[in-house]
Each structure stands twice: as structure tokens, then as C-alpha cells.
A and B are shown apart, each in its own frame.
Chain A
Amino acid sequence: MNVQPDLDFIRTLKEAGGDTLKKCYQCATCSVMCPLSKDGKPFPRKEMIWAGWGMKDKLVTDPDVFLCHHCGDCTANCPRGAKPGDVLSAIRSYAYTFYGWPQPLAKLASSAKGLPMMIGIPVVVIFFMWLISGGMHIPNKEFFAEHGYQQFFGHWDFKWYAKNIFFIVAFMVPSLGLGLFSGIMGISKMWKAMSEQADMNPQYRPSVGQFVTDFIWPSLVEIIKHSRFNECGTHLNRVRGHLPLMLAFIGLFIVTCWSLLKNDVLGLIWPSLHGPLPLTDPFKLLANVSAIALIFGIAVLWSNRKKMETEMSAQATFYDWFLIWEITAVGVTGIAAELLRWAGMPVLGYIVYFLHLVSVMMLFLYLPYTKLAHLLYRTTAYTFEKYRESIFAQNK
């Protein structure tokens, strides 16, 4: 085999937390120690040598890279301090940028250098919306107490559709749409590349329904139950943070969907449905419980990451910290905005609410390129793994 090492790729990995990859001497302790590695072709030893040799094409089409949950058992037992767990994490970070579409946005979201721009885009967009909405004034206390942030973007008398909702939808839906569309572009590209690498038969395919019930659904069940994450040894504590955080996101997703349905569909029929929810409303309750779970989850993950960096001398990377900061920002600004409303502090409240909108828009917009992309790519890898072992993948 004629190896053409991609030196830039190796350099990128080293910067993204894989600085130890060259220490690997291929003893394969990691492959045996890994609780998630399957018996047939285990990982991460093979990924370590591919990374060392700069074999980018092999790595970005290797589902095992995405099946790794960064348990840390390989790293803890590595005789050389090569930290295979951290290297695989760096490979994933590279892969999200590699598959990212559009590329300029993916590149922007891949390093701390892009951070001012990443924050700048939503700040400018939302501020511009605020300017053109005409709502651009800070309310007095009485008004704030009555309406909260419901008229952040002003108010019009068109009873079918609230002005505020109109403006929020105007930038949030395209952001989420772009995020999801780019994400789907990325995972399709990855699926295709993985299929080619695995030499699958493209002629014989399951129906969409079959694909969902046989491959996607079992993967989702596994993910929600954290079945694999729970096998982890060294960093098992991360489950304590990740599980509430994931459930919080599901909870907030449900609340958002309801709010969209209530305001944009049902609100057209019964205009009285517009307005802040009372605290006793089940959806409001779910929202608040989720917000607390989110804060708790991210706090656990934050402290775990810090511990990992001090105890196992993991490199502090933009890839890992961006998501932690981002989720913390969403949670903290969300809860702070609510508290400031109760406290009746309109000026501070409006500023925090503005920041909350910015952080949520960032979450959507950069979803397919940052660490959050794991929810798309890892799910795809789970699905691919099941698909690869199924009858559909047999190339005969």
C-alpha cells in the first residue's frame, strides 16, 4: 500500500485535541479496553494509525469514529499517553467541517478565530430585525409586567398573526432550516462515502418505512436510553450530565412546537391564545423543568470537562468548549430573562432576552458544524452500523 500522508490533516487533528496521536505505538490495548468496540473489527487502534499516517479518507468514512462516545477507557489505559479518545474526538471535529455545507460557514464554525463572526451574524440579524420591526423601545414597568417579551418586536392590530411571532419566525425558522438542511446534506454525503468504502450493493434498498422501523428507530431508542454511553467506564459520569441535557432539549423542543402550533395555527382561530403562559400551564411547567435540567446537565458536563483537562491533561479545545458555552448561554439567558420579567426589570430583561435570541439562533445556525452535529452524525453512524450488518448491505 502506498500511503500518501495528508500532512495538513495531521496538523489539523493535532490542533483539535489530537496532539498526542503520534505517540501511539500500535499495541492495541485501546481496542480491547474499549467497552463499545465490537469483536469483529475493533477500534480505536486502526483509527490511530490512520490518523498517524494522515489517511483522511479512511477516517471520515469510518463509522467507528462516530460510534466512539469518548468514554476515556482507552485513554486511561493507554501505555503511551497517546489518548486515543481525544484523537477520535478531534477526528470527529474534523469530519463535521469536512462534510459541512456550505463550506465557508463550516470552516467559520471550526475554530475560535471564527467566534466573533459566529456571534456577529445573529447579533446583526436580530438587531436589524429589531430596528425594522419598529418595536425598538424599552417598555416601562407596567407594560413589561403585562406583556413580558411578547411585544419585543412591537405590536400590530392584525389579529391573525402577532407581529412579534412574525419577526421571530422570520429569522429563527430560516436558521433552523439552514442548519437542518446543511446537516442533512452532510450526513447524506457521509452515508454515501461510507457505503462506497464498505463496498455495499446500492441496487437493493429497503423502503423508507422499512428503513425507519428497522434502522433509524432502533438507533434512536438506543441513543435515548443511553445504552452505549452507560457502558463507559472512565467517564461514565458524563451520562449524569448528558441524559438530563438531552431530555431537556426534547422537552424544550416539545414546548417550542406547542408554542408554534398555539400561536401560529390555533392563534389564528382563537386570538386569545396569544400571550405568556401562566406558570401552572403544563407546557410552561415542562419548559421550566427542562430549563433546570439543561442547566444541571451542562454544569455536570462543564465540570467533567474541566476535570478531564486537569486529571487526564486533555487539551482544551474550541470544539468541546464552544458547545458547552453555547448551551450554557442558552440556558442562562433563558432563565435570566424569565427571572428579570418577574423582577420587573425591563431594561436588563430586554438585553438578556436579546442575548437569548442570539444564542438560540447560533445553536440552530451552527448545528451541523459544531460538536452539536454529533446528534446527526452519531445517529447516522448508529443507523449505518445496523444497516451494514443487515441483508441490504450484502454485496452478492
Chain B
Amino acid sequence: MTDEQGTSGAVLVVGGGISGLTAALETAEVGNDVFLVEKSASFGGRVAQLNEYFPKMCPPSCGLEINFKRIRDNRKIRTYTMTTVKSVTGGPGNYEVTLETAPRYVNSNCTACGDCAVACPDEIDNDFNFGMNKSKAAYLPHEMAFPRRYVINKKGLTAAGAEAVKSACKYNAVDLDMQVQTCTINVASIVWATGWVPYDATKMENLKFGQSQSIVTNMMIERMAAPSGPTGGKILRPGDNKEIESIAFVQCAGSRDENHLEYCSHICCMATFKQMSYVREQYPDAKIYVFYIDLRTPGKYEKFREARMADKNATFIKGKVADITIEADGSVTVIAENAVTAEKMSQRVDMAVLATGMQPSLSLQGAPVTLQMDSNGFVISDADKAMISAGCAKKAADVVTCTQSSTAAALKAIQVSRR
């Protein structure tokens, strides 16, 4: 293959979620070198946090494990965790990218035996579970973390803790003197698969998130329903672990709202339908209330909606929840106007789930290089500049759409590298 621009034709994929994994694999399996960079300590992204995901209601292990295996087996892909892109210079076909790797404090000797976590006396908030429980300061990012290697939160470690962790490791894998490392790579094109973050629910002041433990987000429900989650898979009210007799789903919490995210996040209606099935499995008689503006079932999911709407104990109310009041007994009252009957209603429930939307990560943290973005911070692919967007960095989407757009991004990236 001729390489007119004098590069190796390598592709940098930024972000190691389902989109980044897909883009990296598709590119590498065609024969290009790939650098796959992930900010957190493990690949898998948001999908790893889900209990089940569309279209087949698989647990995340289902799709991620096969991808991890393909990556492990593919010598064309070099993976970097805890790594971010610091700067990009050069031009399409010949970018010079500086990567910065944060210290993990655990080196490659780690066998994930877990002795350090057992010995560690210090606990930190478990961000993977949205702070609903604690983890040790020496921890495995999550159950099926890849790379399967522990990580140490040095700030959360006391002096005694540091000593305990170090001496617990039989393989000399703990290295608390590890420093930030930078390296430079040359690539022809860059795929931005930087994904999304759940929209900060505290920004909707009227929905009182954070003021009552009965108000949770849809992503928190995913963690609760997951067997590896903070409650071992049982949906319970945080704080008092009450079993749920009634639950309200608050759709469009901060979505389709020009004061928050002005677009429809595409997935929240389906996520709620999915979560209704989690609730129904665990609580056959629980009352479910869904407050919505419009119910959107993109793709082929209309039947899925019909099945949920046939539930005798589920009530669908056309009207956005605009106020939530916190009751003394720990329950909450959601308030909305039913636009069909034109009556204002207040519904007291054990738990309210805010269906928050997807905010593109780069709109919050900023891109390390000038990218073409729309007004919401989604990246617009620029093939001439060899900057390609994929997955939820491109638009709010479900897993199927993300893998499709990542495959498309891989093709574009390859085309640029062979121009």
C-alpha cells in the first residue's frame, strides 16, 4: 500500500466505550495500526454500567467480553487506560498527538488477586455506582474490568493504608511513587468516541435531586438492578433500603429543554421501559407511573412500548413533572398537569426516577484540539481534517446506533489514512 503522506496509517481512537472499542476493532481488523485511549481505568464505558441493554436485553458482559477478547488478540491495537489526549499538532495524515497517562499506582505485575483491597482500611465513594456505596481505595474498577488490573486512589489512602496495601501485595505490583507519563504518537486520523455523561440532575432545581435519597436517576437504577451493583441487583430505596411499592419515572428530566439539554436524548423513553421491566420482575404489584411529554420508541421498539403499556399497574401520564416535594416519611410527591384531562395531579411515590439525558463529554471537559461541534457540543465529523466522530460523541444514540456509527467512522478513518 502506498502511503503518500508518509505515515504509518495509524488511527487514534479516543474513548474506550462500546463505540471506541468497535471503531478500534473495525479499523485494526482491516489492517491499520490503532491506538485506543481511555480516560478511566478500564474499557467498557457506559455500557459496563448497565444492567441490561438493547436490543436483546443482554447484560453488558455479553457484548463487552467478546470485544475485549478481540482486542487482546489483535496485535494491531495498542491500548492505553487512564490516558487522555493533551495536544494534537500537525495535519490530516500526519498528526502528532501527545498522550498523558495518569498514575495507576499498580503496575503490570498485578494479577487481580484482590489481596490489596482486602488489606486496605480506607474507603472512597464508588463512582461506578454513582456514589451509592463505597469501595476500597485499592479497587478493581468493576467486575469485568479490562485490563484486569487493580487501581489505587492515592488521595483516598492514609499512611497506614498505603503501608497495608503495599505489604499485602505478593507480586510487588503496588508502586505509590508512579508519576504522570506522557508520550507522543503519530497517527493519520483520529476517531473521537468520547461518549457522554448523564446530565447533572442537580441542575433541575425543581426536581430536587440530591435533596432526598428517594430521587434517583435512570443510571442509578441500572446500577441497582445490576447483580454487581450496590444492592446486589435489588431495587431498593437508597438510604432506608425500603422495598418499592410505587415508583414514578420522570421523563425528559433536563432534556428537550432549552434551559438544559435542548435535544431529545433518544434513549430515555426506552431506558424507562426497560427499567419498568426490572421493577416489574422484582415487584409484581408495585404501582408504576410514567410522566412524559411524548413517548418515543425509535427504531423497532414499538412493541416493547405496547407491552409496558399493557401493564395493569402502570399509569402513563402525559405531562412533564415540574415539581417534586419531599415528604417527611421519606417518600416524594411528583406534581404535573395531565394534559389529556387538563387536571393537575400530585402523586406520592416511594421513589422517583429522573430520566436524565446524555450530555456529550466534550461539551463539559472541552476538546484538546479545535473540533467542529454543533451548539450542543456534539462533534461533527470533518473528513478533510481526518477528525471523525463516533457513537454518543456524534449524537445521542443507543448501543446499536453507536456501533453502526463507529463502523462508519472506522471506514472514514481508514480512507483518510490511505488517501
Question: Does B344 contact A32, Cβ atoms closer than 8 Å?
Answer: yes
Among B206, B335, B339, B343, contact of A26 (Cβ-Cβ < 8 Å) = B339
Contact A80 B258 (CB under 8 A): yes
**Structural contact, B293 and A27, CB atoms closer than 8 A:** yes
Residues of A within 8 A of B323 (CB): 32-33
State which of B206, B252, B294, B344 has its C-beta within 8 Å of the C-beta of A77. B206
Measured CB to CB, the nearest residue on chain B to A46 is: B342
Task: Indicate if B72 sits at the interface (CB-CB under 8 A).
Answer: no
Structural contact, B322 and A41, CB atoms closer than 8 A: no
**Chain A window 237-268, contacts with chain B (Cβ cutoff 8 Å), 1 for yes, 0 for no:** 00000000000000000000000000000000
Given contacts A41-B343, A45-B339, contact A28 B319 (CB under 8 A): yes
A97 an interface residue at 8 Å Cβ cutoff? no
Residues in chain A near residue B335, CB distance under 8 A: 32
Among residues of B, the one whose C-beta sits closest to the C-beta of A80 is: B258
Does A39 lie at the interface of the complex (its beta carbon under 8 Å from any beta carbon of B)? Answer: yes
Question: Which residues in A have their C-beta under 8 angstroms from that of B322?
Answer: 28-33, 77
Residues from 33 to 59 in A contacting B, C-beta threshold 8 Å: 33, 37-42, 45-46
Does chain B have a CB within 8 A of A344? no
* Distance of A195 Cα from B347 Cα, bound (Å): 32
Decide yes or no: A28 and B336 within 8 Å by CB, A33-B322, A77-B322, A80-B258 being known contacts: yes
- Interface pair B336/A40, CB less than 8 Å apart: no
Q: Does B200 contact A (CB under 8 A)?
A: no
A74 to chain B, nearest CB (A): 10
- Asked if A79 and B343 make an inter-chain contact with CB atoms under 8 angstroms apart, the answer reads no
Which residue of A30, A33, A79, A81 has the most chain B CB atoms within 10 A of its CB atom?
A: A79
- Contact partner of A27 (CB less than 8 A), chosen from B260, B320, B342, is B320
* Interface 1/0 per residue, B313-325 and A, CB below 8 Å: 0000011111100
CB neighbours of B382 from chain A (8 A)? none
Docked Cα-Cα span, A33 to B259, in Å, equals: 15
189-216 of chain A: CB within 8 A of chain B: none
> What is the size, in residues, of chain A's interface with B at 8 Å between Cβ atoms?
21
Q: Is the interface of B mostly helix, strand, loop or mixed?
A: loop
B-side interface residues, number (CB < 8 Å): 24
* Cα–Cα, bound, A41→B322 (Å): 16
Contact partners of B337 in chain A: CB under 8 A: 28, 31-32, 42, 45
Decide if A25 is an interface residue (CB 8 Å cutoff). Answer: yes
**A residues 2-39 with Cβ under 8 Å of B?**
25-33, 37-39
Contact, CB under 8 Å: B343 / A32: no
In the complex, which residues 76-127 of chain A have their Cβ closer than 8 Å to any Cβ of chain B?
77, 79-81
Cβ–Cβ < 8 Å partners of B203 in chain A: none
Rounded to whole Å, the gap between the CB of B292 and the closest CB of chain A is 9
Q: Which residues in A have their C-beta under 8 angstroms from that of B342?
A: 41-42, 45-46
B residues less than 8 Å from A32 (CB atoms): 321-323, 335-337, 344
Question: Is A25 in contact with B258, judged by CB distance below 8 angstroms?
Answer: no
Cα A46 to Cα B340 with chains together (Å): 10
Which B residues lie within 8 Å of A38 (CB)? 344
Pick the contact of B256: A31, A37, A40, A79 (CB < 8 A): A79
Which B245-290 residues have a C-beta within 8 angstroms of A? 252, 256-260
From known contacts A28-B320, A77-B206, A81-B258, infer whether A42 and B344 are also in contact, taking CB-CB under 8 Å. Answer: yes
Bound Cα distance from A25 to B318, whole angstroms: 11
CB-CB < 8 A to A26: which residues of B? 293, 318, 339
Chain A positions within 8 Å of B252 at CB level = 27, 79
**Which chain B residues border A79 with CB–CB below 8 Å?**
252, 256-260, 320
Binary per-residue interface labels of chain B (289-330) against chain A in the complex, 1 for a CB within 8 Å, 0 otherwise: 000011000000000000000000000001111110000000
Further pairs besides A25-B293, A41-B343, A79-B320: 17, Cβ < 8 Å = A25-B256, A28-B318, A28-B322, A28-B337, A28-B338, A28-B339, A31-B319, A32-B321, A32-B323, A32-B335, A32-B336, A42-B343, A42-B344, A77-B206, A77-B259, A79-B252, A81-B258
* Chain A residues near B (Cβ < 8 Å): 25-33, 37-42, 45-46, 77, 79-81
Query: B residues near A, CB below 8 A?
Result: 206, 252, 256-260, 293-294, 318-323, 335-339, 342-344, 346
Would you mind naming 12 contact pairs between A and B with Cβ atoms under 8 Å apart? A25-B256, A25-B293, A27-B319, A28-B339, A29-B320, A29-B322, A32-B336, A33-B323, A40-B343, A41-B342, A41-B344, A77-B259
Those 6 A-B pairs whose CB atoms lie nearest each other, nearest first: A79-B257, A32-B322, A31-B337, A28-B337, A27-B320, A29-B322
